[in-house]
Structures are given as structure tokens and as C-alpha cells.
Amino acid sequence: MDKMPGRAYVREMSDFTHLQADLATLFNAHGLTPELRGNWFLVDGLYPAIRARTSGRLLYIELALAEGRSLTELYPIDSGLDMFRASAFSLLLSAFWNRHNPGLVTRQVIKRADGPWQVFVGLYLRRIEGERPPVPYLLFETIEAFLSEQPLDGDIHWLSTGVAVDEDGTAADIRLDGVRQPVLESQICALDWLYDGHDYTLRNVMLVMKA
């Protein structure tokens, strides 16, 4: 993770510039001084790199975790920066920049055939009118079992979980390094998701690193 994002990452695109001040403020609030390379913010010239843009009603946060490993997280434009700060950005602070907040990030260790891996678990963010429903008891255990057996290429990975619950049931969009995981989605949908007549969504991000 000691290389800069390549040319494909740093080409100038004007739609990334208007959120640069907001991203810089996120870094500065934690005593970090980011540097701008093209449209990407880095700390001390090292990965991860971050940039952001908006399109329509969505906020696009792009993360380059390592050479050749990048992904995009989507948020509603009205609350997207706050959601990013509370979830994905907190993972990066804990894993890379020695600014761990136990109120926002939980650190777990999972055992795999290739050795132990550390999992940084962000907050479970729920959007609902009214009281927040509990997270299913076996949610993390289900994800842990998946990560324990899933082939992992490289030493760093990103798992993004999105769940929607309504009167028709539960739907999930789960991506490992940006790739959908239909088997895990089915397992997550089969968990005991509480529904009391109020539709809601849940999202979570995890950073998985070789220990």
C-alpha cells in the first residue's frame, strides 16, 4: 500500500472537486492532514485514497484500498456524508490511521485456514421512522462463517451489506470488494428480521485484513 493511485485513478474530473472541502474537513477533524493527488485524498502519500462526487440524488464515495483494489459506496445525498463519517470513514481511521473509536468500530478476529484475519466492523446504520429494530442475533456469525471459507485474494477486502425489510419480506445486497454475493444474501435474508409494519433499511461495512 505504498504506491500512489495510478494514472487511471488520478485523471482530472471536475465533478469530484466540489466535495473536496467536505472531505478535507473530515480528515482535519481527526488531526489528519490529507494531500490531494489528482482528485484523490491520501494521508502521507499512502493508501487508502478517497474521493467523492454526487449524481442525481446519490453521493458516490470512491475508495482505493490498495493497488488495483477500488470500490464505490453509495449514500443518499441528504445524509450521505454523515453516514460515511459514522461508518466507512471510521473503519479507515481505525485500520490505517491509528484513530480507533470503540463506539463506532468493533474489532474482531476470525480464523481461516490461511491464518487469522482482523475484521473491523462499522455501525449498523438503520433508516426507519420510529424505533430502531434490533439486528438479528446471528447476523455477524453468518458473515463470519462466510468470510472463514471464502477464497480471499490479497490481504485487504471490503464487505458492504445492505438490507431492506418491508411487508413483502427481506431483500439484501451484499458485496465483497464490489462483487455481489448471492449465497450470503440468501443466508442473511433467512435470518430473523423483525418487521412491525414499518419499512426500514440497514447497511453496514466491514474491512477485512490479514493479521
Q: Pick the range with the lowest mean pLDDT from 6-10, 60-64, 195-199.
A: 6-10
| Interatomic CA distance for residues 21 and 120, integer angstroms | 27
Distance of CA 54 to the CA centre of its chain: 17
Greatest Cα-to-Cα distance within the chain, rounded to the nearest angstrom: 50
Residue whose C-alpha is closest to residue 159's, from 198, 209, 86:
209
pTM: 0.90
Q: Per residue in 52-91, pLDDT tens?
A: 999 999 999 999 999 889 999 999 998 999 999 999 999 9
The residue that leads in pLDDT, 33 or 13, is 33
